[in-house]
Structure 1
Amino acid sequence: MQRLLAIILLVGLSPLLGILGLITRMSQGSPVLFRQLRSGRGGKPFRIAKFRSMTDRRDANGELLPDDERVTAWGRFLRRSRLDELPGLWSIARGDMAFVGPRPLLPETIASLGERGKQRGKVRPGLTGWAQVNGNTLLSLDEKIALDLDYVSNPSLGRDLVIITRTFWVMIGGERRTSAAGRAKPDLSQHR
C-alpha cells in the first residue's frame, strides 16, 4: 500500500518536483539530485536520492570545503522545508523505504553501531522518523539512535500518524528539541 501511495504522490507532485529540480539546476548546476548508498532493512544497501543542497566548492588544495560553506541559500531552504527529501518517494515506490521509520544511514555508520545498528535495521528506513520530529540536527547521534530504537521497539499506527503530522509542523516551523529527546536514554554499552 505504501508503494502505491508513493507512486500516486510522485505523479501528483510531479509539477512541484519539476519546479524544484529546475530551480536547483539554475542555482547549483548539475547534477540536480544527490545520490548516496545507504543501509536499508536488514542492512541491505540501496541508493537514496535527494535534491542537491550543496555545491562541490573546493579549497586551493582541491579539498572539499566544509559542509556549511558549501550549502547554498536555496539548499538551506530545501533542507529546512524538507523538500529536498521528496525524491525519496522513489525509494518508497521501489520498496527500499517506508514513509515512517528511522532515517537511512550510511552503511559504515550502521556497522559502527554494532548491535544497535542491527536492531535499528529491523524495520525499513523512513522518509521521516521519530528522531526527525524530536530535534533531528539538534540531537547527538546517540540520542537519534536511542529515539530510533524506541520507535523500532514500540511500533504503532498511532505513532506513525503523530510523526507524519509533526513532520509538517517541522517543515513549517523548523526543528525543535522536544521532551521525547530528553527522555531518550542512549545505550552506549553496545558500542563496538
Structure 2
Amino acid sequence: MKRLFDLTASLFALTFLWPVFLAVAVAIRLDSPGGIFYCQERVGRGGHSFLMFKFRTMVADADQVGSHQTAFGDPRITPVGVFLRKTSLDELPQLLNVVTGDMSLVGPRPDVPAQRSDYTEEQWRKRTSVLPGITGLAQATKRSLATPEERLALDLEYVERQSFWFDMKVILLTIKQVLNIKSAS
C-alpha cells in the first residue's frame, strides 16, 4: 500500500507541479552559474547507495569548498537557494527518486556515506531497514532545528511506528511545518 501511494502521489505531483519545476529552473539559471540540479550519493534501504536529486541551492562545486552539512548563513547558499530551502522547493526533484523506488515520501532522510560513522551498528541497521524519505518524523516535528541526537531518536521512532496512517500524519505535520502554521494551544 505504501509503494502504491508513493508512486501515485509522486506521479500526480510531478504532473501538476511541472510549472513550478520550470519556474525554479529558470530562477536558478538566472541566479548563478552552474547546473539546475544537484545530485549527491546517498545511502538508502539496506545500505545501498543511490543518487539523490535536488534543485541546486548553493554555488557550483560547493561540496568541494565545505562540509556536507550547512550552517545558518552559509555563504555557499545562493540568494535563490535561500528561498528554495526555506520553502523546501529544493526537495521537489526527489519525487523522481520516489518514482524510481530509491526513496519514499516518508522515511528517515537519507544520509551521505560519510555519516555512517555517526551511528552504532544497530542504529545504522535499523535506520537503513526502510526506504529513506523526502520528509521524515524529524522534519515534520523539528524541521531543521533538531540536534543530531534528536534526529536519530525521531528516525528510529519512525522505523518502530511506521504504517500508512502514520505516514499520512507525518505528511500533514510536514505541510504544517513548511507553511509555518502555529498550533492553537
TM bracket, shorter-chain basis? 0.7 to 0.9
Identity %: 34
8 Å Cα contact 1:99-1:126 kept in structure 2? yes
Give the Cα–Cα distance (whole angstroms) in 2 for the partners of residues 153 and 87 of structure 1.
28
What TM-score does the superposition give when structure 2 sets the normalisation length? 0.85
CA RMSD of aligned residues (A): 2.1
2:97 maps to 91
- Runs of 4+ displaced beyond 2 Å: 63-67
Of 11, 15, 25, which aligns to 2:15? Answer: 11
Q: Which runs of 5+ in 1 are unaligned?
A: 177-192
Q: Deviations over 1:133-152 (max 9, x none)?
A: 12132111121011000010
| Structure of higher CA gyration radius | 1
- Please report how far the alpha carbon of residue 39 of structure 1 lies from its aligned counterpart in structure 2 after TM superposition: 0.3
2:155 aligned with 1:148: yes
How many residues are aligned here?
171
The one-letter code of the counterpart of 1:18 is: L
Structure 2: segments with no counterpart, 5+ residues: none
**Of 101, 106, 112, the match for 2:107:** 101
> What residue is the counterpart of 1:21 in the other structure?
25
The one-letter code sitting in structure 2 at the alignment partner of 1:138 is L
TM-score by length of 1: 0.82
What amino acid does structure 1 have at the position aligned with 2:170? I
1:52 aligns with 2:51: no
Cα distance in structure 2, aligned partners of 1:150 and 1:129: 10
Give the secondary structure class of the aligned counterpart of 2:53: strand
Alpha-carbon distance in structure 1 between the residues aligned to 2:117 and 2:14: 32
**1:115 partner letter:** E
Look up the match of 1:189. none
**Displacement, 1:56?**
3.7
* Alpha-carbon spacing, 1:151–1:65, altered in 2? closer, same or farther (3 Å): closer
The amino acid across from 1:169 in the alignment is K
1:43 to 1:57, Cα distance in 2 relative to 1, 3 A: closer
**Residue in 1 aligned with 2:179?**
172
User: Please, which of 109, 118, 122 is the counterpart of residue 115 of structure 1?
Assistant: 122
How far apart are residue 57 of structure 1 and its match? 7.9
What is residue 127 of structure 1 aligned with on the other side?
Answer: 134
Partner in structure 2 of residue 64 of structure 1: 65
Which shows bigger deviation, 122-131 or 163-172? 163-172
Given candidates 73, 81, 98, the residue that maps to 1:75 is 81
